Amino acid sequence: TARGPRDRRVRLSVSTAIQFYDIQDRLGYDQPSKAIEWLLKKAKPAIDELNQLPPAPLSIGRASSITPS
């Protein structure tokens, strides 16, 4: 993340979770993060073809949205 590595959880639909854990079991991984890394590595060529997102604007709190009167 932009703020550094953190423990994140992702909610999956039941059907997606079943597919994901089937892949994890078939790969022989004991940690979901390893299966995610494998999936991202295999999907990298397709991900690289996606359009780039515009850079996020830098702002500090709400002060950046205040305009002088």
pLDDT tens, residue by residue, 49-69? 988 888 878 766 655 555 555
- Residue 19: which domain range? 12-49
Determine the pLDDT at residue 53. 80
Specify if 25 maps to a domain.
Answer: yes
Nearest of 18, 38, 12, 19 to residue 27 by alpha carbon: 38
For residue 30, being part of any structural domain is answered with: yes
Greater model confidence, 34 or 4: 34
Q: Give the pTM.
A: 0.61
How many domains, in total, are found in the chain? 1
Q: Which residue has the tokens 């690289």?
A: 48
Backbone torsions φ then ψ of 44, nearest 5 degrees: -50, -45
Q: Which pLDDT score, from 0 to 100, does residue 61 have? A: 61
Average pLDDT on 19-32 reads 97
